[in-house]
A = this chain, B = another copy of it.
Amino acid sequence: MDLEFLHELNTQARTKIVMLILDGLGGLPAEAGGRTELETARTPNLDALAERSALGLSEPVGPGITVESGPGHLALFGYDPLQYRIGRGVLEAVGIGFDLQSEDIAVRGNYCRVDEAGVVTDRRAGRIPDAISREISKQLNTRIEDVTFFVETVREHRLAIILRGAGLSPEVSNTDPAKNGHKPLPLQALAPQAEKTARLLNQFLERSSQVIRNHIPEPPANMLLLRGFDRYPHFPLFPDIYGLRAAAIAVHPTYRGIAKLVGMQVLPVEGATAADEFSSLEKHWEGFDFFYLHIKNTDLAGEDGDFARKVAVIEEVDGLIPRLLALHPDVVIIGGDHSTPALLKGHSWHPVPTLIFSPDVRADGIHEFGERACGRGSLGTLPARNIMPIALANAGRLMKWSG
What residues of chain A have their CB less than 8 Å away from a CB belonging to chain B? Answer: 1-2, 5, 9, 26, 28-29, 32-33, 36, 51-52, 57, 61-68, 70-71, 74, 81-82, 85-88, 178, 227-228, 343-344, 346-351, 359-360, 362-365, 371-372, 375-382, 386, 388-394, 398-403
Q: Which of B86, B348, B380 contacts A381 (CB 8 A)?
A: B380
**A398-B349 CB under 8 A given contacts A85-B403, A403-B85:** yes
Q: Which of B66, B68, B82, B228 contacts A393 (CB 8 A)?
A: B66
Interfacial chain B residues near A350, Cβ < 8 Å: 362
A64 touches B1 (CB 8 A): yes
Q: List 11 A-B contacts (CB under 8 A).
A: A2-B82, A26-B362, A28-B362, A29-B363, A32-B359, A67-B400, A68-B400, A74-B403, A88-B403, A348-B360, A350-B362
CA distance A5 to B67 in the complex (A): 13
A375 touches B372 (CB 8 A): no
A402 touches B64 (CB 8 A): no
Closest Cβ of chain B to A64, distance in Å, is 3
A402 touches B88 (CB 8 A): yes
Closest Cβ of chain B to A66, distance in Å, is 5
Interface centre among A178, A346, A377, A400 (most CB of B within 10 A): A400
CA distance A359 to B375 in the complex (A): 19
CA distance A257 to B330 in the complex (A): 39
Closest Cβ of chain B to A330, distance in Å, is 14
Closest Cβ of chain B to A262, distance in Å, is 13
Copy count, this protein chain: 2
CA distance A26 to B378 in the complex (A): 13
Name the CB-closest residue of B to A402.
B68
| Given A1-B65, A88-B403, 20 new contacts (CB under 8 A) | A1-B62, A2-B82, A28-B360, A28-B362, A33-B365, A63-B386, A65-B401, A66-B400, A67-B402, A68-B401, A68-B403, A74-B403, A178-B399, A228-B402, A348-B393, A350-B362, A364-B375, A378-B381, A379-B381, A381-B382
Closest Cβ of chain B to A37, distance in Å, is 12
Interfacial chain B residues near A85, Cβ < 8 Å: 403
**A389-B63 CB under 8 A given contacts A33-B365, A363-B32:** yes
Closest Cβ of chain B to A379, distance in Å, is 7
Name the CB-closest residue of B to A63.
B386
B372 touches A402 (CB 8 A): no
CA distance A385 to B276 in the complex (A): 45
- Give 8 nearest A-B pairs by CB, closest first: A64-B389, A375-B378, A64-B393, A349-B393, A63-B386, A71-B403, A68-B402, A64-B390
CA distance A178 to B399 in the complex (A): 9
B365 touches A65 (CB 8 A): no
**A9-B364 CB under 8 A given contacts A71-B403, A85-B403:** no
Name the CB-closest residue of B to A392.
B64
Interfacial chain B residues near A391, Cβ < 8 Å: 64
Interfacial chain B residues near A346, Cβ < 8 Å: 400
CA distance A349 to B63 in the complex (A): 22
Q: Which of B66, B68, B351 contacts A398 (CB 8 A)?
A: B66
Interfacial chain B residues near A362, Cβ < 8 Å: 26, 28, 36, 350, 371
Closest Cβ of chain B to A33, distance in Å, is 7
Name the CB-closest residue of B to A362.
B350
CA distance A82 to B401 in the complex (A): 10
CA distance A98 to B81 in the complex (A): 45
CA distance A391 to B86 in the complex (A): 28
CA distance A291 to B102 in the complex (A): 50
Interface centre among A33, A63, A392 (most CB of B within 10 A): A63
B360 touches A365 (CB 8 A): no
A61 touches B401 (CB 8 A): yes
